[in-house]
Chains A and B, each alone.
Chain A
Amino acid sequence: MKILVPVKQVEILDEDFEIHDDGRRVDSDYIEHELNEWDDYSWETALQLMEKHEGAVEAIPMTVGPDGADDVLRKCLAKGGERAIRVWDDAMEGSDPIAIARVIAAVAKREDVKLVLAGTQSTDHGYGQTGIATAALLGWPHVAVVSELDYTPGSEKATVRRELEGGVEEEIEVPLPAVLTIQLGINEPRYASLRGIKQAKSKEIEEVSPQDLGIPANEIGEAGSAARVRRMYVPERGKAELIVGTPAEQAKRLIEIVNELKGA
């Protein structure tokens, strides 16, 4: 069976940055990139299934992005897996989670996967929608914020646990194929060995366009998005208070604030 693991190359902002002239994004000169933290855990989940059921499972990382996004795929392949898929076309610029989900769903169908393991959300945009939207487009059941997964390849069902408020957990049996969004802490992601890093350089990354997947132009990019960024700006200062002074003064003010909030 195949497991598809969509991973994202997220943006990391520097402490000081500038908004781009178009007013809708941060100037790219101030952005660094790395693998989305949640996707590290979802990829590790897939690797553990692959290792536990050697030969029965193929895990495939995929991403949506220009060629710089190969970095995150190589990071995944350095830990395991034999091939990856990257989907991009310049027309995809401005895609929201729904548009991205269309691409993931198309790849899932093309690869005939039984399981999609996505990160619960991304560290940069935090929509938390991409995985769920993928499930909706595929018409598959989904479980979000999975903190434990018990699955045997060949089985028609997986058992998962998910976190709820107040420390409560629920256990769910979900039929496959399914989409699961994976929570932080489900496992301990491994570090890639030096040998793995070297080997990853020669592993295949298939570049695919949305057209190759049969996705029409009006379903990707801004044209295919239900939401678009109108404006990005640094907000005016709100209720935050900068507590200044000597440590003793700061401690006194902190105590005052705590007492005010407690109504003392």
Chain B
Amino acid sequence: MQFTALGDWLSSQEGSFNIHVAAAFHEVADDEQRQVLEASLFATPRARLRWAGEIYTPPSILEALARRDEARLNLRLARHPRTPGSSLLRILRVSDDPGILAALAAHPNSPAQLLRDLPWGQQPPIRSGLAGNPACPLDLLYTILPETTMVDRKRMAAHPAADGALLQKLWEVAGDDVYLRGEVIANSACPPGLLAAALASDVPLIRRKLAENANVSTQALITLLRDPVPEVRAAAARQVPSEAFEDVDCEDFNTVRRIKARRHDLPADLIAQLATDSDSWVRRWLARNPAVPAEILAALAKDPEREVRRGVARNPACPTDLLFQLARDPEPWVRAGVSFRTDIDEDLIALFEHDEEIDVLSGVGRNAVTPPEWLERIAEHANADVRRSVILNPRTPRYLLRRLAEDPYPFNRVCLVKHPAAPIDLILELLADAEPQVCFTAATMLVSGGRKAARKQEAASSSEWKACRRSQVTNSEISGENAHENPCAG
């Protein structure tokens, strides 16, 4: 269904339609159609409150609700993350409720002028909202700074718009508050002078935050890698160049070793060392690391810990012979690590033909190389999660999707509606599903499918027109019998 056929759908409903479908179609409806939809959507105060509060409510409906200027709705609208800025402006014009104003101050869609117009001088909650709002302009942060609390200042220190000068001010007003200073140091806009001060700080939190700063120098990171406090070393281990590792003595804090094990640039001797680490989480992270050579993976594939073996099975660089070995592992969780891979072939999948473990079946069901006759069997499984795996399989045949449209578990039907091969007529049927989430999703898919088709058509028309212009084909150069095929004609 193209969204241009919405009018036909509306007519077919004879004035009584599913409000969740109506909500999804609202966005693409014209003004007249919206009036019809809104008559049902907004029929009762409870319904209006519900739409103002539901997280999935489309922005066009929130806009329509804001135009009603109902005080009870405005608090919910002011808090709703999808309410457009124009609607928030409208709410500000008609509201003086402190709760609403605070919500507007905190809303990321609030336009800058709205934020400047708020009475922040009289109301601390408004200042708090502004301090944490990523949409709050920098000059306003400077303006409210003298009247903010320490909690607000921490939000400001983490603000994406905070510049070096603001961070310097925050550092100076922090006094003994090491948490505020830590937030200043962690900000990527932190001035170099403060970064240097942080390196010399006797507060571990500040040094740790320094190690987390994306702009910290390599030399500072190397210094922090040798810090006496393990949490600081762990933070440094995330981004210090791997060459620094070779110069460091054997690390006794397992968190640091775990972080190292995840690095894709480890030196070979460190990989070998970590492969025999006493901490199973270190070995687990290493097993998943695509930079680990095959011989190390082969050793980890025999690890006594099942999670380590599963890590190898999930490793993108795991050699095929190891996958065959792990597909025969006594632990279902490990075998599932193989069955879930999207890069295995029919020979590997064949090993799971008689496997009845739920975790394994969930992987087999969603695997693109699984034979259709297996998918039919898995689609009948008593476990809803196993059945869903077939729905999530991009190669599931349409006849099976039709059968699964009767699945009793609502979330499975939601997933089915989203399947790229779900037939349009099936999606249309699911517009009448008893579960609101299913019919809403079905309608949303039709709307987005209609939009994609329209964009394709538009792009196709545009490129055809451009091609015509380039070739300077005119009607006069085309024989009369072919004129109707000329995309530039008429």
- Seen from chain A, the residues whose Cβ lies within 8 Å of a Cβ on chain B are 14-16, 18, 28-32, 78, 190-197, 244-246, 248-249
Contacts and interface: CB of A to CB of B under 8 A. Distances in A.
B49 interface: yes
B387 to A, nearest CB: 11
Interface residues of B, number: 23
Nearest to A193: B408
B434 A197 contact: yes
A191 B409 contact: yes
Contact of B46 (A16, A28, A244): A28
B49 A14 contact: yes
Given A29-B44, A29-B45, A193-B406, 18 more contacts: A14-B49, A15-B53, A16-B76, A29-B46, A31-B46, A78-B434, A190-B408, A191-B384, A191-B408, A192-B434, A193-B408, A194-B405, A194-B408, A194-B434, A246-B154, A246-B179, A248-B182, A248-B205
A15 B46 CA distance: 14
Which 9 A-B pairs rank lowest in CB-CB distance, beginning with the nearest?
A191-B408, A197-B434, A29-B46, A29-B45, A193-B408, A249-B179, A246-B179, A244-B151, A191-B409
B interface secondary structure, majority: helix
A151 B92 CA distance: 63
Interface string B37-49: 0000000111001
B183 interface: yes
A217 to B, nearest CB: 30
11 contacts: A14-B49, A29-B49, A190-B408, A191-B384, A191-B408, A194-B408, A194-B434, A245-B154, A246-B179, A246-B182, A248-B179
B46 A191 contact: no
Contacts of B410: 191
Nearest to B149: A244
Given A29-B45, A197-B434, A16 B75 contact: yes
Interface in B57-98: 72, 75-76
B50 interface: yes
Contacts of A248: 179, 182, 205
Contacts of A197: 434
A78 B434 CA distance: 11
A197 B53 CA distance: 27
A225 to B, nearest CB: 27
B208 to A, nearest CB: 9
Interface string B171-207: 0000000010011000000000000000000000100
A29 B151 CA distance: 36
Looking at B72, B75, B405, the one whose CB has the most chain A CB atoms below 10 A away is B72
